[in-house]
Amino acid sequence: MALTAENVNSIAYLARLGIDEKDVEAYAKDLSGILDLVEQMGSVETEGVLPMAHPTDQPQRLREDEVTEHDQRDYFQKLAPQVEAGLYLVPKVIE
């Protein structure tokens, strides 16, 4: 499977991941190589095999619906690049 530069640009956009224009070709080559490696999976028949999402087959645990976390907004927001009045600020979205 060979990916083109155009493919790389559209995957990168899906992931909201900036890639330098000068590096796109190199990524296309590397990713195509990885996909070739991955293609080897096709050599084994998997009809009827149950996909394995997880190493342990345990069900999701449930817990009592009780408050276990207390409000630490101010503490956590100290880490943020930009906050105001308890809100996280991002560039303007709505005109």
Binding site for another protein (CB under 8 A): 3, 8, 11-20, 23, 27, 30-31, 33-35, 37-44, 46, 49-56, 58, 60-61, 63, 72, 75-82, 88, 90-93
**Computed from CA positions of residues 69, 74, 79, 83, in that sequence, does the dihedral angle turn out positive or negative?**
positive
Output the smallest distance, CB 67 to another protein, in A: 14
- Any residues with CB less than 8 A from the CB of 12 and at least 6 apart, and which? 18, 19, 27
Output the smallest distance, CB 16 to another protein, in A: 4
What are 16's two structure tokens? 């909201």
Output the smallest distance, CB 63 to another protein, in A: 7
